[in-house]
Amino acid sequence: MELKIKKETAKKLYDSVPDWFKEELMEAFGKTTFQKRKFTDIKSFEDACEELGISTAQFYGTETPDETAYKKLKIVIKAINQGWIPDWSNKNERKWWPYFIMSSGFGFSDSFYRCDASDTFIGSRLCFESEEKATYTAKHFIDLYKAFLT
């Protein structure tokens, strides 16, 4: 079988195709193409886009810096969460977010979670499944958070 498909398209499709087709894709592009990284291997926005098979070109347009940072943070967080999607109907599921102090500059302060309150402290697309992932992202992507929040 000859595949006429780009590598980026194959990566996007991989998780949703049957096992027999996954084998074809791995034969065509190599097993390492489809191996998921550890979240700690994602150290840049470009790494996050590569992990998700997304082109970085679409993020450099006419948006304001905070809009671009928000879009980038959604991509980074999706890659860091590695498929985890918050269940907003489950009040027992912890959803973590980083907390920043902005009184004398801008710096990461701590990570928190919320499970059953109706307060809105964070965007629903900007939360994490664990404190470790929230803290890691806040420290490694602090410039994106700063652009988004200030």
Does the pLDDT of residue 135 top 90, yes or no?
yes
Measure Cα distances from 106 to 28, 65, 100, 110, 149 in Å: 47, 16, 7, 13, 10
pLDDT, one tens digit per residue, over 43-100 is 999 999 888 878 888 777 778 999 999 999 999 999 999 989 999 899 899 999 888 8
69: left (phi over 0), alpha (psi -120 to 50) or beta: alpha
pLDDT range class, residue 118, cuts 50, 70, 90:
very low
Is the distance from CB of 24 to CB of 3 less than 8 angstroms? yes
pLDDT at 150: 86
Residue 83 amino acid letter: G
| pLDDT, mean of residues 19-23 | 90
Arithmetic mean of pLDDT over the chain: 84
